Amino acid sequence: MASLLEKISDLNDLVLQGKAMDAFEKYYHQDVSMQENENQPTLGKENNREREKEFFSSIVEFRGAKPLNVSVGEGVSMVEWHYDYNHKDWGERNYTQVSVQEWKDGQIIREKFYYNS
């Protein structure tokens, strides 16, 4: 059975290969809750799948993403990412974000994104 560090490393690698939706299907729990800063969380895999698809389809130019730091604890992982892209509604985005993932049954049950908007 893969360790949490192996799982989050594989998830990050899939994202870097342009396979974020494959990573989502593989590593996100059916009952996942995903939350941007202090906004209302999006609940359930189907709702989050649509949210993710909408986000990726809105990127008009992608210049890069890089995981800067990865930390793993008991049932939790954190990844500091740097992103650089243009979004059709938000314009140029070049920022650092921390994603905190809580794991259950080998999948992410809750993820919260922290960034300066």
Residue range of the domain that includes 106: 4-115
Give the domain CATH number at 28.
3.10.450.50
Rounded-to-integer distance, Cα 79 and Cα 16, Å: 13
Name the pairing type of β-strands 28-36 and 107-115.
parallel
**Containing H/E element for 63?**
strand 59-73
For residue 2, what pLDDT is reported?
79
Rounded-to-integer distance, Cα 84 and Cα 67, Å: 12
pLDDT in tens, 63-96: 999 999 999 999 999 999 999 999 999 999 999 9
pLDDT in tens, 26-66: 999 999 999 999 999 999 999 999 999 999 999 999 999 99
- Please count the structural domains in the chain: 1
